[in-house]
Structure formats: structure tokens, C-alpha cells
Structure 1
Amino acid sequence: MVLVKSEVLGAPCWLSLMARDLEAAERFYSAVLGWRFRRGAMGQVFSVAELDGVPVAGIGALAGELAVPVSWMPYFTVDDADAAASRVRERGGTVGVGPVSFPPGGRAALVSDPEGAAFGVWEGRVLAEWRVGDGEAPAWLELHTRNAFDAAMFYGEVLEWGQDTHDGAGSCEVSYEEDRVVLRNDGQAVARLNSGPVEEAAPKPQLRPRWLVHFKVPALEPAKAAAVEHGGGVVEGTGWGDGHRLTLRDPDGGLFTLDESTRAG
């Protein structure tokens, strides 16, 4: 893997699953998405998932250690994790963990926006090969929130979207398309912020505000069958599905969405 300095601040830079049982998670996602795994820089409690030799995501057996729910978490680049965490607090968000140091030479914090959607900020070098968004990337991101335009204000200020940066690095740009907000990196859509009905009560936790991670697959049915066979389940009543996408829950309870795409590996 090649680590480089991020040239664009506020851009998605990594996906990570906080799991309880690393080996069980590896078996499940290998069966559903065809990933292969190798141990990462954090040792035996963390592994890197690869598809066709390209890094896609990380899985760490950290949910119990950090006392956080099992969930997929997107990370965004910042020039200063401590300053970004302060901006989160100042704008009504919450800092759950950190900022703390992680190898090799980075700092991260787990935070949430005012609606409760969790995400991470990362200060440090990023993987040159990693991609998310439209086109050939294996995954993309969607924020499900009460008001996408309010959310865009929060994230724009915290992650400095569309702003002049301190050291000459670029920043992501935001465009408004109907009732959605689209985040673009060098013109390519990398995430979408969608307004919609959300619930904070316990009966339907899948409808709480959250960042949804979408993974692209060539066909939904084989992936769905593999998920059910290996202890996962289909999540009904989310309002996110259609004929070309499906939301699943892994055996630990982590939510993710499959998108049928002819560009999937």
C-alpha cells in the first residue's frame, strides 16, 4: 500500500467497521462481497479488506473495546483532528472518542453530527489506491438525515467543504440537486446527503440518522443469499431500497447497503 498526503481536505478517505468478532466478520464479508483480508498496521485486532488487490475498507475488533455500536463508519480528511473535533462541539455535534493517535502516524476522532449520525475525522496520510463514489469505485456514501441542507451547513463548516484551506490543499465542493446535496471531489460525486423521514426511537433503529455505506455488487440475489446463509439478514422498511439496492444487517448488527451495478467487480 502507498500512503500519500491528502490533496483534498474534507474528502472521504476510508471506511471502517467496528466489529466484535474480527474473524466472524471476515468470513461474512468475504462470502457476501468477495473480499480478501490481511492484517493492518494495528496488528491482530484490525484487518484490511481488499477486492482485486485494491484496499476497500478496514474491519477492527474494537466495538467492545471502545464501547461503541457495531457499525460502518466513513472517515473524512482534515488537516488538524483536534481543531475539527472542536468545530464539531461548537456546532452542536458530539465527540465520542479521541482524537487519538493511530499507526502509521495519524490521528483520528469518532464524532457525530447534531442529528446523531456518526462519522470519523482523520489527520494524516491516506491510501493512494483507495476510492469511493461514482464510476469504478467499489463503494459510495449516503447521509440519511432529517434535513440535508442543514446537514450540509454543519459538515461544510466542520470539514471545510468549499473553503480555502490553510496549506494549499484543495477542498471538496457541494452542489444542490433537487432535495439532495451532492459532495464532489474533483468533479466526481463521492457522497450524497438526503432528506427524509428519520426516527430516534428504538422500534426502528435502522431509520435513525446515519451515514449509509453502499457496496457495489454485480447482482443482488447471490449476495443476498450469501448474507442470509452466513448469519446476516435483510432489513425491511428502511425506505432506502428499490429494485437495484438492498439493505442488509451483518451477524453483529452492522447495517450496509448493496447496490447492483454493472461496474462492480
Structure 2
Amino acid sequence: MSYVTENQPNGTPTWIDLGVPDIDRALEFYGALFGWEFEKGPAEYGSYTMCRHNGKRAAAISQNAEPGEGTWWNMYVAADDCDATAKRVVDAGGTLVIEPMDIMDQGRMAIAKDPTGAQFGLWQGRAHLGCEIVNEPNALVRNDLVTPNPGPAREFYATVFDYTLDANPDMPEFDFTFLRLPAGNEIGGIMGNPEAPSSRWETLFEVADTDETVARARAAGGTATDPEDTVYVRQSQITDPFGTPFTVGTRTTEW
């Protein structure tokens, strides 16, 4: 198992959470889909619920206080120093939606948008490290930015997090750039798509069998595209009962 026992290196996607208008319905859906167990938080904190897989924190789901706001899987990037990274975000042309703030003893966070409008979070872990299980079935495996304007996005993330940018020779027909930490670890990518209606960080969950997961999603009240094979993964885009899109995939090769 890929268990995380300390803060991830600076710039690594480290946590995901979801806001929904009906948390009980969300727990029913994601429990049926991934087999997660839930630790529901107090109502005064939006019923912020830890989703556990094999006893480890895999994600969180909360009650969205603004029903008309929509739903999202929000990605948080590990920050050794949340305040300093937030300043780098602004200096590089991004904006802060939520200024750095402490979340009790759990950590320090901020919410930002890059120059293309894609939202992401910063997380400086303390008692809460982020995802404690990754790169395993029914857990987070990667995040990719899909944007109609990839040039400014590449420049921004390389400036803020010191990523190196590499082309993908396996997919020459696509405008796809690997994002790597200074040490060389791949943490995700940027997909340029002129037809994308907006810029958004997309979340991919690994699953043991994409076809079976699609069947579970449809049975639980979600929708899903028919599974398709790509260079690295057999995948499907699933939409939960609230209209939240995400991708599931079974790896056919390492990326």
C-alpha cells in the first residue's frame, strides 16, 4: 500500500475535498462507489467528513453552505510555508480567494486561482498531513490541469513551485506537459485543450476495474462515459448526483 506518514514534498498535490448540497446523499454515492468509510464532522464545521480507505484518510466531503455555488473536487498542494507560497502565487499573477489561515491544529491553508482561473488550495500540514493513502485502488492517483490557455499556466506553476516542464513523447497529438518537482518526481500535468470551457484541475482516482466501477457509479445514481483505453490507463469520466465530474482509471502501464 502507498501510505503517507509525513508531509509531502513542497509542490505535491496532497489533499482533495468536495463540497455538496446534500452530504448524506454524497456519502451514500461515494461509499457505494469506492467502499469508503466516513467519519462525520460537526455541523458547525459544515459536517466536514473524513473519507477513509483501509482506515486511512483518502479525501473529505462537506456540506456546501451555498447551494447555488455548485460542486467541485478541490486540490490542495503541499506548501512548506503557506504564507510564503501564497505570496509567490500573487507575485506570479495569481489571486488569493482565501488568505492563509490556520485550521485549528490541523494545518494552515489558502485558496488561490492561477492566471487562467483554475482554483487550487495550499496546505501546510501539521496534525493533518493530507491524503494518507494514494496511488492505490479507490484513492487519489493524480491531478491534471485542463485549460484552453496552457502557456500562462505552465509559466505560473513553474514559477510558484519550481516545477520543471517536460513534453510527453507518448502523446504527440496532444498539448500535454508533465510537471515535475526539482528532484524529478512527476506530480501531474497540464493539458492544453482549446475547446475546454474553462480551466480546471481534474482529479483521477485509481480503481481496480474501470468497467466494474462504471457499473457501480450508474447503479448508485451517477452517470459515466463508457470506459476507453488510453496510452496509460483504461478510464471513464464519472459525474456524481450533484454534477461533479471526476475520472476513474485502471493503469495499464506506469506514467
Match of 2:251 in 1: 261
Match of 1:165 in 2: none
Q: CA deviation at 1:18?
A: 1.8
Aligned residues of 1:106 and 1:123 also touching (Cα < 8 A): yes
Could you tell me which amino acid in structure 1 is paired with residue 129 of structure 2?
L
> Could you tell me how far apart the structure 2 residues matched to 1:25 and 1:81 are?
30
> Could you tell me how far apart the structure 1 residues matched to 2:192 and 2:114 are?
15
Match of 1:203 in 2: none
Structure 1 residues without counterparts, runs of 5 or longer? 163-172, 201-207
> Tell me, what secondary structure is at the counterpart of 2:249?
strand
Q: CA deviation at 1:111?
A: 1.5
Map Cα deviations across residues 16-46 of structure 1 (whole Å, 9 max, x no partner).
1122222211111111112111236996711
Map Cα deviations across residues 175-199 of structure 1 (whole Å, 9 max, x no partner).
3434432234554433122222244
> Are 1:154 and 2:156 matched, yes or no?
yes
Match of 1:205 in 2: none
Map Cα deviations across residues 203-247 of structure 1 (whole Å, 9 max, x no partner).
xxxxx22111001112223222222222212369xxxx7331111
Could you tell me which amino acid in structure 2 is paired with residue 196 of structure 1?
N
> Are 1:180 and 2:145 matched, yes or no?
no
> Could you tell me how far apart the structure 2 residues matched to 1:246 and 1:90 are?
37
The residue correspondences of 1:66-145 to structure 2 (distance < 5 A) are: 68-125=69-126, 126-127=128-129, 130-132=132-134, 138-145=140-147
The residue correspondences of 1:158-169 to structure 2 (distance < 5 A) are: 158=160, 160-162=161-163
> Could you tell me how far apart the structure 2 residues matched to 1:131 and 1:182 are?
23
Could you tell me which amino acid in structure 2 is paired with residue 190 of structure 1?
I
Identity of aligned residues (%): 30
> Could you tell me how far apart the structure 1 residues matched to 2:131 and 2:137 are?
14
> Are 1:23 and 2:24 matched, yes or no?
yes
> Could you tell me how far apart the structure 2 residues matched to 1:262 and 1:53 are?
27
> Could you tell me how far apart the structure 2 residues matched to 1:2 and 1:176 are?
28
Q: CA deviation at 1:133?
A: 5.3
> Are 1:53 and 2:55 matched, yes or no?
yes
Q: Decide whether aligned partners of structure 1 residues 96 and 44 sit closer, same or farther in structure 2, where only a CA change above 3 A counts.
A: closer
Could you tell me which amino acid in structure 2 is paired with residue 88 of structure 1?
V
> Could you tell me how far apart the structure 2 residues matched to 1:7 and 1:129 are?
9
> Are 1:250 and 2:240 matched, yes or no?
yes
> Could you tell me how far apart the structure 2 residues matched to 1:63 and 1:256 are?
22
> Are 1:189 and 2:186 matched, yes or no?
yes
Structure 2 residues without counterparts, runs of 5 or longer? 170-174
RMSD: 3.3
Q: Decide whether aligned partners of structure 1 residues 63 and 84 sit closer, same or farther in structure 2, where only a CA change above 3 A counts.
A: farther
Map Cα deviations across residues 241-263 of structure 1 (whole Å, 9 max, x no partner).
73311111111121110112379
Aligned residues: 239
> Could you tell me how far apart the structure 2 residues matched to 1:250 and 1:233 are?
7
> Could you tell me how far apart the structure 1 residues matched to 2:80 and 2:99 are?
15
Q: Decide whether aligned partners of structure 1 residues 150 and 141 sit closer, same or farther in structure 2, where only a CA change above 3 A counts.
A: same
> Tell me, what secondary structure is at the counterpart of 1:45?
coil
> Could you tell me how far apart the structure 2 residues matched to 1:154 and 1:228 are?
38
Q: Decide whether aligned partners of structure 1 residues 93 and 251 sit closer, same or farther in structure 2, where only a CA change above 3 A counts.
A: same
Q: CA deviation at 1:13?
A: 1.2
TM normalised by structure 2 equals 0.78
2:217 aligned residue (206, 213, 227):
227
Q: CA deviation at 1:154?
A: 0.4
Q: CA deviation at 1:114?
A: 1.5
> Could you tell me how far apart the structure 2 residues matched to 1:22 and 1:119 are?
22
> Could you tell me how far apart the structure 2 residues matched to 1:247 and 1:20 are?
21
Aligned residues of 2:93 and 2:114 also touching (Cα < 8 A): yes
Map Cα deviations across residues 44-88 of structure 1 (whole Å, 9 max, x no partner).
7111112222321111223528x7531001101223333333333
> Could you tell me how far apart the structure 1 residues matched to 2:238 and 2:29 are?
12
